[in-house]
Amino acid sequence: MPANTDEKDPGKVTVYTGAQRPDLLALTKRDDCPLIYMWPEFLDGAITTQRHFEKLYDLPEFAKCQLVAVHTLHGKETIVGNGNCIPFFWRELADIGNNSKASDFAAVLRTLPDGGFDTILARGVHQAVARKRKKKMEPVALTHDQVTDMDSWALTEAPNALSALAIAVLPAWRSYNVAEMLIKAMKDVAQAENLAILVVPLRPTRKAEFPHVDMAEYLGWSRQTEGPAGETSKDTVKNNTNGKPETAAAPIPVPEEDSAAFVPFDPWLRKHIRLGAKMVKIARQSMFIRGSAAEWKTWCDLDVRQRADKAVEQRKRVWVEAGSTEAPVIFTPSGCLAPMLYYPSRDVGEYCEPNVWLFHSLN
């Protein structure tokens, strides 16, 4: 194992819940925790995360759903990974008796929100506050999908499902099954809390290398073919100056997940599939990030304003569509899974990240 030369005593990795080890959980939220740097910095601009993510640490009932992986050697503990998840009440699942073997279970899975990460985080937090029946949170919908989900926020029934939100592992520990341990621990938490299912709004790790490829097409790539036939480009700092997103190939259906022959190209998706997960559907609006040119410069070291000014100058006039006030300039900052739209007159860059919903059966 890393930083250990004693082959006779390699130490061990243990996953604790925040309820078991609140001291470790507190360390993972500190600004100097190295796990924070495992994520692209632009995710700091996710407006739903800014409003709700801290509640995972502040509300006591969520502590048992937050995980910390620790390596212990000669009495010294080192945090090597962590995981966040949130319990929520899923009305459609309750309607079939929380039975994942029911004939209409597949239809229930398709009711997972298109807003993915953002919507399920907001739902879980609002429901937890509603169950306390004390101080109410102001019901502010931060995305279009949350508007349609707001009717679930006031439900006070006990949670019947668990959603993973994030797993991070230090690079030196990624070959030591720490991620697998965290996924298993999430399943254990769900079972211990009598929840029926674990769902995951997954962020495919290599999708950022192909930001102009539609997510449906990307999910159809297999490891056997090493991704797209003849595709080798990994350029993630392109910009399009014509005000229109580049035309992607027509989406292809998500492959049949139960096909033993299909091994996904994406390594993070592949890991979940090997641990029993199945793909459900694409969450096209899973995370919404908004920032000024200065913020995108800080996050991605990309001079959005300068490039946008050049793009607008090249157009000579702003291209306008019916119903639009301004044509955006298209960028793909490093780390983004899809293009970012920058609106020069408002100095706003908006990025809507697609993820893919998975589910893990607990049976």
Q: Which residue has the tokens 């879980």?
A: 124
Question: What integer pLDDT is reported at residue 293 of this predicted model?
Answer: 93
* C-alpha span between 227 and 204 (Å, rounded): 13
Question: What integer pLDDT is reported at residue 236 of this predicted model?
Answer: 36
pTM of the model: 0.87
Mean pLDDT of 349-354: 96
Q: What percent of the chain has a predicted confidence (pLDDT) above 90?
A: 73
pLDDT in tens, 25-78: 999 999 899 999 999 999 988 999 999 999 999 999 999 999 999 999 999 999
In terms of DSSP H, where are the helices of the chain? 22-28, 47-52, 55-58, 91-95, 105-109, 116-132, 144-149, 178-192, 215-219, 267-274, 293-300, 304-315
Q: Which two tokens stand for residue 122?
A: 């907001």
* C-alpha span between 251 and 305 (Å, rounded): 32
Q: Given a cut of 60, is residue 135 above it in pLDDT?
A: yes
pLDDT in tens, 91-115: 999 999 999 999 999 999 999 999 9
* C-alpha span between 138 and 9 (Å, rounded): 52
Question: What integer pLDDT is reported at residue 321 of this predicted model?
Answer: 54
φ, ψ for residue 80, nearest 5 deg: -120, -10
pLDDT higher at 135 or 280: 280
Q: How far is CA 250 from CA 71, 110, 286, 340, in A?
A: 46, 22, 21, 20
Structure confidence at residue 225 as a pLDDT band (50, 70, 90) = low
Mean pLDDT of 207-226: 90
Question: What integer pLDDT is reported at residue 252 of this predicted model?
Answer: 37
Enumerate the β-bridge partners of residue 155.
Answer: none
β-strand pairing of 348-361 with 197-202 = antiparallel
Looking at residue 222, what DSSP letter applies?
A: B
| Start and end residues for every CATH 3.40.630 domain found in the chain | 12-205+357-361
Return the CATH fold of 12-205+357-361.
Aminopeptidase (3.40.630)
pLDDT in tens, 268-316: 999 999 999 999 999 999 999 999 999 999 999 988 887 787 776 666 4
Question: What integer pLDDT is reported at residue 244 of this predicted model?
Answer: 41
Average pLDDT along the chain: 87
Nearest to 116 by CA among 200, 187, 195: 200
Q: How far is CA 64 from CA 18, 26, 125, in A?
A: 5, 13, 15
147-158 per-residue burial string, b: 16 or more CB within 10 A, e: under 16: eebeebbebeee
Q: 3-state DSSP: the chain helix, strand, coil percent, rounded to 5?
A: 35, 25, 45
